[in-house]
Amino acid sequence: MNVLGINTYHGDASAALIVDGQLVAAVEEERFTRLKHDTSFPHRSIRYCLETANLGPEEIDHFALSRNPRANLGRRVVHALKDRAGRQVAAKRASNLRKILRAKATLAEGLGIPESSLGAKPHFVEHHVAHIGSSFYVSPFERAAVLSIDGFGDMVSAMWGVGEGHHLEIGGEVTFPHSLGVFYTAVTQYLGFPKYGDEYKVMGLASYGDPEHMDVFRRIVRSDGLGYELGLDYFRHHVEGAAMTWDGGSPELPPLWGPAMERDLGPARGDGPLEPHHQNVAASLQRRLEEVVLGMLRQLHERTGIDDLCLAGGVALNCVVNGKIFDETPFRRVYVQPAAYDGGTSVGAAYHVWHQVLGRPRGFVMDHAYWGPEFGAARLKQALEDAGVAHAELPEPEILSQTADALADGKVVGWYQGRMEFGPRALGNRSILVDPRRAEMKDVLNARIKHREPFRPFAPSVLEHATARYFTRSEPSPFMLMTYPVRPDKVAQIPAPTHVDGTGRLQTVRRDQNPRYHALIEAFEARTGVPVLLNTSFNENEPICCTPEQAIDTFVRTRMDVLVLGDFYAEKREGPDP
Ligand SMILES: [Fe+2]
């Protein structure tokens, strides 16, 4: 039984395929089209999924979209009739919904077959049900409290409940116009970061400031039991709409913040200099998000009495909040799958069909993120030769020892292995790695390759069994979705991936999750005594490299020292930094 999940006409379009209940492939469309957060119909992702499972289009039994145009219909109509702006937004939304309902024709067209020969049955899964499914159904828990929080999907911004076996019981939701995702995005825009997906920059900036504006931020968002309410003066999406546009492929959002934001916090930053005031606003925003989300979680625990938690939605990518769950709520185990954002809803929609429509029992745990494309040795070699990059093919022990030597020598290493990661984080298969002991490596990476704002942190990968030696908590974080304090006595040992506030957004690495990456960190530890590497994604600013050609191009274009492409090792013979 083959079920295809699709996220489309929404940020981070993606496809995922499950065969007899087992996830076989999952990927975001941006990795193929090279348009960040691409929202289009994910034709390339779908073709990749089918090729991976060696299936023809006629073998898809079901396909599921992570949107349900009929969900919350009453609410949509009321909103549409409210005023002229509402009607305009509604008209735009209606055209999107028509597109969603035409999905079967669009799917057939992309697969190059007539719609009549596509036997697959379509399903429309409400957005947050797909988010929750993307976490709970692939979690290791038989029973868990579940919570999804994001901007909006099908008019809803948060949903919670209990998952048990292959059943989900929805306990409640927060609907338009109230949204924690909109709250974070609006203040992100006010702070001068207008691009879709810029929220993580503000999360990094927050560590530099003091939360001086909590009184204002407690008016901007008010807690309300398990839910929350926005102070609507601070926003304009409820008047003008928050409809995403994507004329160029990448999504864009209109300004979401309203006049009260400038009244209470001063003029918006625009493209002016970043001042301490902005850091303090960012710190207040982050603190308020933490207060509200951690408060919701305490309520959820009280209502359910369950110690295991599954999180999903864009807000679940806020690893600073996630890292505080163990200290500030009674939850003891937390699962967030690597693509907690909209990209992951393709997985949730497919599993919703498998469990809810087809009634099948659980039988799959997503314990790694490597569900994307992989390219064989012949393709890697050909790509190196075509680019004229001198290289050596080495047995694994040599690859590991040469790479560990280069890292310990302070070189910048492009590390490209196996299947690409699903989700926004590079987790050791499409990564750029450096020595975490060298404080200057953050600046070196920025000057040579990443060109990021200086306030943004880089992340550490640590062997799972060594987590407690370096961090104040030891709960695993395999998908780099938890931030913990670095032990004070270890900050001097790993300064490069330690953030200004003494924390690290860590990835814990276990041998069975990624044997080669685990072995590389072990080899680095054998040389240096430190079981940690600094790990950033293999790209400059574009979507993470997918193909070997893209990786080689990045290697050639930037001042990266070493490229390890599968079993091929290439090193530039260049002098030191000018
Ligand atoms: Fe979402």
d(Cα 200, Cα 184) in Å, to the nearest integer? 10
Ligand 1 centre to CA of 33 (Å) is 21
DSSP single-letter state for residue 350 = H
Neighbours of ion ligand 1 (CB under 5 A): 150, 153, 342
d(Cα 387, Cα 377) in Å, to the nearest integer? 15
d(Cα 424, Cα 317) in Å, to the nearest integer? 9
| Alpha-helical segments (H) within 329-426 | 345-352, 377-386, 396-408
d(Cα 537, Cα 115) in Å, to the nearest integer? 39
Ligand 1 centre to CA of 148 (Å) is 8
φ, ψ of residue 145 to 5 degrees: the values are -75, 145
Q: Which two tokens stand for residue 258?
A: 């309203």
Q: Can you list the positions of beta strands (E) in 48-190?
A: 62-65, 121-124, 143-153, 156-164, 167-175
User: Which residue type is seen at 110?
Assistant: G
Q: What is the pLDDT of residues 480-516, one digit of tens each?
A: 999 999 999 999 999 999 999 999 999 999 999 999 9
Q: Which residues are catalytic?
A: 10
Can you give the pLDDT at residue 85? 56
Ligand 1 centre to CA of 181 (Å) is 9
d(Cα 36, Cα 28) in Å, to the nearest integer? 10
Ligand 1 centre to CA of 66 (Å) is 9
Can you give the pLDDT at residue 56? 96
538 three-class SS: coil
Ligand 1 centre to CA of 306 (Å) is 24
Percent of the chain topping pLDDT 90: 89
Kindly indicate the confidence band of residue 87, based on its pLDDT and cuts at 50, 70 and 90.
low
Please say if the pLDDT value at position 578 is more than 50: no
Residues whose CB falls within 8 Å of the CB of residue 484, separated by 6 or more in sequence, listed in order: 323, 471, 472, 473, 477, 503, 504, 506
Please say if the pLDDT value at position 575 is more than 70: no
Can you give the pLDDT at residue 411? 98
Q: Which two tokens stand for residue 416?
A: 């490209």
Can you give the pLDDT at residue 444? 96
User: Which residue type is seen at 478?
Assistant: P
Ligand 1 centre to CA of 163 (Å) is 19
Q: Which two tokens stand for residue 385?
A: 């030769």
Whole-angstrom CA distances from 451 to 52, 219, 532, 558 are 35, 36, 23, 11
Q: Is 462 exposed, middle or buried (CB count within 10 Å of its CB: 0-12, 13-18, 19+)?
A: buried
- In our burial notation (b when 16+ CB lie closer than 10 A, e otherwise), range 306-321 reads bbbbbbbbbbbbbbbb
Q: What is the pLDDT of residues 240-257, one digit of tens each?
A: 776 777 776 788 888 999
Contact indicator for 123, 115 with CB cutoff of 8 Å: no
Ligand 1 centre to CA of 219 (Å) is 25
Smallest Cα–Cα separation from 340: which of 477, 485, 182, 194?
A: 477
Q: What is the pLDDT of residues 538-568, one digit of tens each?
A: 999 999 999 999 999 999 999 999 999 999 9
pTM reported for the whole predicted model: 0.95
Ligand 1 centre to CA of 150 (Å) is 5
Torsion, Cα 542 545 549 553, to 10 degrees, reads 50
Q: What is the pLDDT of residues 15-71, one digit of tens each?
A: 999 999 999 999 999 999 999 999 999 999 999 999 999 999 999 999 999 999 888
d(Cα 42, Cα 7) in Å, to the nearest integer? 8
Is-cis flag, bond preceding 330, omega within 30? no
Q: What is the pLDDT of residues 222-231, one digit of tens each?
A: 998 899 999 9
**Average pLDDT across the chain, whole number:** 94
Q: What is the pLDDT of residues 364-381, one digit of tens each?
A: 999 999 999 999 999 999
- In our burial notation (b when 16+ CB lie closer than 10 A, e otherwise), range 350-373 reads bbbbbbbeeebebeeebbbbbbbb
**What count of Cα atoms within 13 Å lies in the side-chain half-sphere of residue 415?**
30
525 three-class SS: helix
d(Cα 480, Cα 175) in Å, to the nearest integer? 29
Ligand 1 centre to CA of 153 (Å) is 6
Show the CA angle centred on residue 178, arms to residues 154 and 195, nearest 5°.
75
